[in-house]
Amino acid sequence: MTMSPEPSGTVPDTAIYDRRESAVRSYARSMPRQFGRAEGVWMHDDQGGRYLDFLSGCSTLNYGHNHPILKQALLDYISADGIAHGLDLHTGAKQGFLTAFEDLILTPRGLDYRAMFTGPTGTNAVEAAIKLARKITGRELVIAFTNGFHGMTLGALACTGNAAKRGGAGVPLSHVAHEPYDGYYGPDVDTADLLEQRLADPSSGLDAPAAILVETVQGEGGLNAASPEWLRRIADIAKSHGALLIVDDIQAGCGRTGGFFSFEAMGFIPDIVTLAKSLSGMGLPFALTLLRPELDQWSPGEHNGTFRGNNHAFVTATAALRHFWSTEEFHRDIERRSQLLESRLLRIAAEHGFEARGRGMMRGINLGSGELAATVTAACFDAGLIIETSGAHDEVIKVLAPLVIDDAVLGIGLDILETKIREAAENNYAVAAE
């Protein structure tokens, strides 16, 4: 196996982008290639370069690019003039998805949810979740957490912690309080205790919340993984204070941290769950808000949208559920790869005094410096590895390889990462020593 990106001096003609695409584009800046074809863990640029994808569309491509089974299902559906767009009408594609989701996901896990097909973006699923929580409780405040990331539309953006994203709102972001996530104040402070104290205190200034909105692992926030104990505490606190617990499983769900849901086997059941990213399995826009049936108090059309219920995505999602989640095999594969990944990252981190973070196949290394991390990811890209950063200062390199990656290929990617971290770290020491 070889990876052969073009020499870094050769860039495609990007005049059309400069002329016609908004300056808001971001990834295209650090990966200045034009891509065309992709399959499995590989992306190909237009100049013959091949890249190993350790970004996976920020966990949108857990089953890799254009998985052949999903791809074939979609080709068959389109060829047969299957309905592409049907608003929220009943379609065979939707029936297929709901049936598979019930049979393969809900029933085996003893979960009882209803599916709300929101506009096909994660932010829309979050908006629907917090709307519903506010409607049901008659309260306005949503408690979110430091470093949380939940989307860019106004309601979800208010729940997002990142200052640069928040600043884009142009209006003050209201009706949300950010409380410290697990471990935020270090290992000696139990932040669930702090939250409990404030909610129990009628003079704390923290209003009674409609919902507590939490990620079990914060992807954009720096791969902070909350402990199951802390999450159970948060679930208990929500319940005892009359708030709904919303787990935003958009990045951590669909197998990324092991199970289909990131909170499986943790001893609590959220009231509402949001899913998106890898749900379609092939990277198609698709989002879902799951509700406990007794919370399904929506009026018809109360939250609607043109693209709710993407039938192409129903088809690929159904194929993905049937292929990957009918047996325990995929889950076991993820577990094995997670351990491989964890041990490699721990070793790399230990070598340089860095910190390994995360859970399952959602892990990374905190380099302590956004500048250093950017150096590493740029070097990786030059070496044919697509990998990105997250965290408040973009200081955490995150490994979001497709879950279906071959163990050996995973190892090759990690070799590149290890080498580039070592080079950057040594160069850093050398500079510091001068």
**Taking CB under 8 A as the criterion, which residues in 127-166 touch its own copies?**
127-128, 130-135, 140-141, 144-148, 151-156, 158, 160-166
Long-range Cβ pairs for the range 290-297 (8 Å, 24+): 290/113, 290/114, 290/115, 290/116, 291/113, 291/114, 291/116, 291/132, 292/112, 292/113, 292/114, 293/112, 293/113, 293/114, 295/132, 295/136, 295/244, 295/271, 296/114, 296/116, 297/132, 297/135, 297/136
Contact call for residue 111 and its own copies (CB under 8 A): no
Nearer to its own copies, 199 or 348 (CB): 199
Q: Nearest approach, Cβ of 44 to its own copies (angstroms)?
A: 9
Residues numbered 21 to 50 that lie near its own copies (CB under 8 A) are: 21-29, 31-39, 43, 46
179 burial (CB, 10 Å; 0-12 / 13-18 / 19+) is buried
Contact call for residue 391 and its own copies (CB under 8 A): yes
CA angle, residues 118, 121, 125, in degrees to nearest 5: 45
Contact call for residue 362 and its own copies (CB under 8 A): no
Q: Nearest approach, Cβ of 360 to its own copies (angstroms)?
A: 19
Q: Are 366 and 391 in contact (CB under 8 A)?
A: yes
Q: Nearest approach, Cβ of 434 to its own copies (angstroms)?
A: 29
Q: Nearest approach, Cβ of 423 to its own copies (angstroms)?
A: 25
Which residue of 50, 69, 109, 180 would you call a contact of its own copies, by CB under 8 A? 180
Nearer to its own copies, 75 or 350 (CB): 75
Contact call for residue 431 and its own copies (CB under 8 A): no
Q: What is the dihedral of CA 239, 243, 246, 247, to 10 degrees?
A: -40
The phi, psi pair for 357, rounded to 5°, reads -140, 160
Number of residues that bind its own copies (CB under 8 A): 154
Residues numbered 282 to 341 that lie near its own copies (CB under 8 A) are: 282-285, 289, 291, 296-307, 310, 312
Contact call for residue 350 and its own copies (CB under 8 A): no
Q: Characterize 226-238 residue by residue with b for buried, 16 or more Cβ atoms within 10 angstroms of its Cβ, and e for exposed.
A: beeebbbbbbebb
Q: Nearest approach, Cβ of 268 to its own copies (angstroms)?
A: 22
Which residue of 4, 14, 327, 339 would you call a contact of its own copies, by CB under 8 A? 14
Q: Nearest approach, Cβ of 254 to its own copies (angstroms)?
A: 12
Nearer to its own copies, 127 or 271 (CB): 127
Tokens of 407: 């163990």
Q: Is 53 helix (H, G, I), strand (E, B) or coil?
A: strand
Q: Nearest approach, Cβ of 334 to its own copies (angstroms)?
A: 20
Nearer to its own copies, 153 or 419 (CB): 153
Q: Is 208 helix (H, G, I), strand (E, B) or coil?
A: coil
Give the x/- contact pattern for its own copies in 252-281, rule: CB under 8 A: ------------------------xx----
Q: CB within 8 A of 405, min separation 6: which ones?
A: 41, 64, 337, 413
